[in-house]
Structure 1
């Protein structure tokens, strides 16, 4: 079975609404139809596992013409609803799976709030979908970072640099000691910096650095585009000995990510920009666990989770939940993906991040925390490594900074913003 968990607000009896949800998304509709036998319903009908009230609202959160026609404008109950859907209703079809567990449920008249908060599948069903091609262990191996967080940054300015300018910047970051460098999510195939030209120019510098030092810095090129173009970009990137392609998940969609996964062995760096549009409201959209489960079934290797105490709206609890979900296998074997922390991160936010997550299996990306360090990017990266050393040694950052100048400067520069 495919188990979906929802938060539902409704002015109607929850047993009726949950039964309607299960019927709407499986073998039934609002009335019994010809051919809808008991045998068919028993095999293909979804099953309501549980309903439980967790709160109430004085008035409907979302408008519903159906509710208004019925005059049901009074208090609504808020419920946690769990429904099991038969695997045979989906087969192996990720867009259809998403349609089953979400689909028209958001539009039901009886519902004045609905959020899909989790999707869980059996180990056998998980194995029928794409797995990470690189994953955590492969990312560590490719980046020559066996046993600590990967430290990296984002190309800034994100728009306006020529391919050669970008290549020069990446070369400096390689020399500074970066493990990972990525394009910004809005860096696409610009007329002034086409992605194929960026790939060729940057990878030339990355290979030169590897030939001198033995370390191949992982660079995530944003190849977000229509599907055929993404495949072409991935082929060029692989030919240039690149290791990672970045994709804006929400704007290319589940099918395109699956297609890219099947086409290319590159690490797929999943950027979730736009997730706030479906995740921020407590009674509408999709929660992070459900969202991540769907894209993990598409075979991504890395997934952005934002950052602790960062510049975005996420609570630390939200970031923690997202990261721990990435690091928890969905099935037998290792299908974990590497959580990627970013947005206002610097050396001072690293200890709290590691304490909350309880693992070094993560990417920790600092834009300003590296690029705006008073002594430059190399010192910014050094401050991150020093912060990690302090955590491992159990020494407070303030104490460790007394003998580590780069960390001390970072704390002076960014501490008021931390």
Structure 2
């Protein structure tokens, strides 16, 4: 309560405790308080003109230097007591949060029991807590989404790496915790290749040079496996092994391996030997037959092929000729009538197999290798029936006919001398 001259006459104990200026009777109101709302001068006449308005008074000895949020303010009603010629202000603390109460050194006990300010502070605090929880939940959700996307990308990288080591079908079974049973495949085509004079190259070069050479060569071969749809089984040193028909059966297994073999023979010439600087030359062996395929081992499991077909394909490679594709009679029959050209090789004694009739694959409808000028260059093109291959006869005729003419010429000169 204050009089007409703004002298303080009466005040509550809580206001006295909170006020930064010691309150006492007779103190000018303007020394400790200021009117925040409405924006009027602090005089009794002005206040009486706005007597029906809601007043907000702040404890502010600085004359308005503090902001409304920083100062402790009270919201209430002004009433003029004509009998005692005094102005009385009745109000409640203007607080919104426990944080503000702590800053202003105000306690719940300072607020009247049935004052709505209590509920407002608690509701505001609850709302802030809910907003804070919602914000943290949104941040956690966004972080989980980012983590999920990163995990998906890493999973894709892991899957790609796994599918390069194992067939996709087998890898998915292992990921699902399923046991991968060995399967028998009745018709597959297996290819082996190795580098001619690799032992000499390894002896003449540093290990790093050998590794770089093999890496360049096998990177080219790996790209061609995707192009021709064959599965790379493994590499051991300079040996490169692929198969078609496993693990996904196909009737085109022989054609796919044949096309792949023609491609790698030419592609190997693009990689040079670090020992001589000359293009590499490879031997290729191919055989068709049944195999059993399965995953072997628990640590670093490998998808392996077993059976005599694998052994025979390896023998085709080891008994092959540099720069040529050595195929068995079984593969030759599978490729019959599909536009491939072969040179018949005289029967050869294959280690562990005995005498075998084998062939050299030299061309397809789309591709032909550059044959080495060796003892087999003038051998005839052949089909399983022993005749000339229809698409290759004209190609063969020029070189083969030349050899016949030279033979006739030699016989004629011998008879003439006689």
Q: TM-score, normalised by structure 1?
A: 0.21
TM-score (norm 2): 0.21
Q: Determine which structure has greater relative contact order: mean sequence separation of CA pairs < 8 Å that are 6+ residues apart, divided by chain length.
A: 1
Q: Which has the larger radius of gyration?
A: 2
Write 1 or 2 for the structure with the bigger share of strand.
2
Which structure is higher in helix share? 1
